Amino acid sequence: MSAETRTGAPVLEVDDLRISFRERAAERAAVHGLGFSVEAGETLAIVGESGCGKSLTAFALLGLLPGNARASGRVRLEGRDILGLEGEAMRRLRGTRIAMIFQEPMTALNPVLTIGAQIVEAIREHEAVSAADARTRTLSLLARVRIPDPERRFGEYPHRLSGGMRQRVVIAMALACAPAVLVADEPTTALDVTVQAEILDLIDDLRRETGMAVVLITHDLGLVAEHADRVLVMYAGRAVEAGSAAALFAAPRHPYTRALVAARPRPGSALRQRLVEIPGQVPPPGAMPPGCAFAPRCPAAEAPCRETPPPLPSVGTAAERVACLRWKDLRAPDQSPVRLGA
């Protein structure tokens, strides 16, 4: 998808990330030993349903976990350990090396400042530049996020802009100091479908131009198929499958991924046909089954699945991993033989 800008060296490496919450006396684990890496110029999508720990992982990357949460493991940003960095050291990284955008552009902008002033502040927070230079850079940022007529928009207040335009401003602020990694937490969930595509195309273009890495957090598999190079599927705080987006959609291996892919509404299916659903619910953090977290909902679960959590071994190529004891025995949901990698 973007081979021309990839360098091969991972800018962000996460290894054995564990996040737990202290609740009264008990520790409740929310993310269990997550590992992934992202190369420059690449988009990694982290997919999973609400509560699987994907947003928590994003917050941990930027050192924004709530006070009662504890993280362990390793997060390396451009070769430097950043997990546990605090205060000024972490603040200097935010915006310059790693930045984040959120779901809701309506409330992420300051209603009493013009959008130009807000982007100028984002630049001057990290760099000592003159007001005139900051203004010039802001105008070029506005143009780069394809806001028409930047000169005029510079002096406008956020309430004058549409949701899509506001998200563009938020992206411009995030990119003001050219971060190496952009974490996008459901960046288009609050927007209209047509605007969603524009925003994600914009992020793709900016990624290609700047060579930044993008971590796209979403529950929307449609977006993943179109905008991600690689995918990490999370379930109940664990990675259950990882691989290239193309392979994962062509031949999902883990029963959960298969169910997700099958549950996706598709064009062409009969209008009145019921959407496929996954029976059961995600186990709450306090009541994790001893074995595979998906076993209670898995149609293929057997006795060993319920005993110990499955490891996440490489299957096929090194980047393809699946945490399932039985994936080889399984057939695709439509009962045609599963096409395996390699």
Partner 1 sequence: MTGTLTISAARPRPAGLVARLIRRPSAVVGLALLGLVAGAGLAAPVLYPGDPLDMIGAPLQWPGMDPAFPLGTDMLGRDIAAGITHGARISLMIGAVATLVALVIGVGIGAGAGYYGGRVEAALMRLTELFQTIPPFLFTLAIVAVLQPSIPTIVLAIGLTGWPGLARLVRAEVLRLRDGELVQASIVIGASDARIIGLHILPNVLAPVVVSASILVANAILTESSLAFLGLGDPNVVSWGGMVGAGREVIRTDWFVAAAPGLAIVAAVLALNLLGDGLNDALDLKRALR
Shortest Å, Cβ 288 to partner 1: 28
Using CB under 8 A, which of 30, 45, 46, 109 touches partner 1? 109
Task: Closer to partner 1 by CB, 95 or 255: give it.
Answer: 95
Shortest Å, Cβ 110 to partner 1: 5
Shortest Å, Cβ 99 to partner 1: 5
CB-based contact 203:227 (threshold 8 Å): yes
Using CB under 8 A, which of 17, 174, 232, 233 touches partner 1? 174
Q: What is the DSSP string of 169-230?
A: HHHHHHTTT--SEEEEESTTTTS-HHHHHHHHHHHHHHHHHH--EEEEEES-HHHHHHH-SE
Site string for partner 1, 176-215 (x = CB under 8 A): xx-----x--------------------------------
Stretch 25-84 residues interacting with partner 1 (CB under 8 A): 62, 64
Tokens of 202: 């914009």
Which one, of 143, 170, 212, 159, lies nearest residue 135 by Cα?
A: 143
Q: Measured between alpha carbons, how far is 91 from 64 in angstroms, rounded to an integer?
A: 10
Q: Measured between alpha carbons, how far is 303 from 4 in angstroms, rounded to an integer?
A: 47
Shortest Å, Cβ 49 to partner 1: 22
Using CB under 8 A, which of 22, 92, 152, 331 touches partner 1? 92
CB-based contact 118:168 (threshold 8 Å): no
Span of 49-57, 104-112, 256-264, 321-329 interacting with partner 1 by CB under 8 A: 104-112
Stretch 120-159 residues interacting with partner 1 (CB under 8 A): 121-122, 125-126, 159
Q: Measured between alpha carbons, how far is 305 from 326 in angstroms, rounded to an integer?
A: 8
Task: Closer to partner 1 by CB, 177 or 246: give it.
Answer: 177
Shortest Å, Cβ 95 to partner 1: 3
CB-based contact 69:18 (threshold 8 Å): no
Q: What is the DSSP string of 281-295?
A: -PPPGGG--SS-TTG
Span of 70-78, 171-179, 318-326, 329-337 interacting with partner 1 by CB under 8 A: 171-179
Task: Closer to partner 1 by CB, 169 or 221: give it.
Answer: 169
Which one, of 173, 182, 235, lies nearest residue 205 by Cα?
A: 182
Count of residues engaged in binding partner 1, rule: CB under 8 A: 32
Span of 172-180, 223-231, 233-241, 277-285 interacting with partner 1 by CB under 8 A: 172-180
> What does the radius of gyration of the chain's CA atoms come to, in whole angstroms?
21
Tokens of 17: 């990330």
Shortest Å, Cβ 342 to partner 1: 40
By CB atoms closer than 10 A (0-12, 13-18, 19+), residue 197 is middle
Span of 95-103, 218-226, 234-242, 270-278 interacting with partner 1 by CB under 8 A: 95-103
Stretch 224-283 residues interacting with partner 1 (CB under 8 A): none
Contacts with 179 (C-beta within 8 Å, 6 or more apart), sequence order: 95, 96, 97, 98, 99, 212
Task: Closer to partner 1 by CB, 38 or 101: give it.
Answer: 101
Shortest Å, Cβ 65 to partner 1: 12
Tokens of 281: 């619910």
102 binds partner 1 (CB under 8 A): yes
Contacts with 329 (C-beta within 8 Å, 6 or more apart), sequence order: 300
Using CB under 8 A, which of 115, 161, 173, 301 touches partner 1? 173
Q: Where on the chain is the footprint of partner 1 (CB under 8 A)?
A: 62, 64, 91-96, 99-102, 104, 107-113, 121-122, 125-126, 159-160, 170, 173-174, 176-177, 183
